[in-house]
Amino acid sequence: MQIDEKMIAEIVKSVIASEELVSDPENKPVPIGVSNRHVHVTQEDLEILFGKGAKLTVKKELMGDDFASNELVTIIGPSLRPIENVRILGPVRKHTQVEISRTDTFVLKVKPPVRPSGDVAGSASVTIVGPKGVVTIPEGCIIANRHIHMTPQDAAGYGLKDGDYVDVEVGGIRRTKFYDVQIRVNEKFRLEMHIDTDDANACGVKCNDLVTIVKKD
């Protein structure tokens, strides 16, 4: 069989270019984590929902100290149409917060803002129903903004810092670009971009697919 030297040269060139891309810290691809709707609760609200002395139990370890718990609740908005089996993420927090997708808002008939987690002032009200009680939060329901978790070492490699904003390119058959993605830096984090199920479905990606950071000028 005759070897096509030109084709081999092109393959070698492509492989070298790919290796250079990955070895360059500023071009290191970022894995995706797709976040489904979930709830964070205070200890006080946890005990209302699940009974006095209730504690969250670990189903799956997540990032840093965070974990997906075994505890599930129902959330209800003005439509009175419930969304059931919404998982609580631990550990308990200082403020109760509900993170949903845009699609969920059509079921609940709420109008939550797009915010970073924890920024809940003036956000939407929802009711949370547990096996032992009910909690209505006057604010705390948001659509989480797109963001990338990274360690200080990752941030240094990309030339970024906590609070920066970048654009992100998504390849594949439904190629797209996400704008104004927030950078969050903490020693307990691991490199991962978080998007919700709406964004993931729109561009046809799943957990652990890779995307590329594009720094703003």
**Closest Cα partner for 69 from 126, 136, 49, 80?**
49
Give every residue of the chain whose pLDDT is below 50, as ranges: 1, 17-23
Cα 49 from Cα 133, distance rounded (Å): 4
Extract the tokens encoding 214: 């594009």
**Closest Cα partner for 34 from 174, 147, 197, 145?**
197
Residue range 51-82, pLDDT digits in tens: 999 999 999 999 989 999 999 999 999 999 99
Residue range 4-21, pLDDT digits in tens: 677 676 665 555 544 444
User: Which residues face 72 on adjacent strands?
Assistant: 87
Domain positions in the chain are: 28-33+146-215, 36-144
pLDDT the model gives residue 24: 53
pLDDT the model gives residue 25: 56
pLDDT the model gives residue 23: 44
CATH topology of domain 28-33+146-215: Barwin-like endoglucanases (2.40.40)
Residue 200 burial (10 A CB sphere; 0-12, 13-18, 19+): buried
Extract the tokens encoding 68: 């997906």
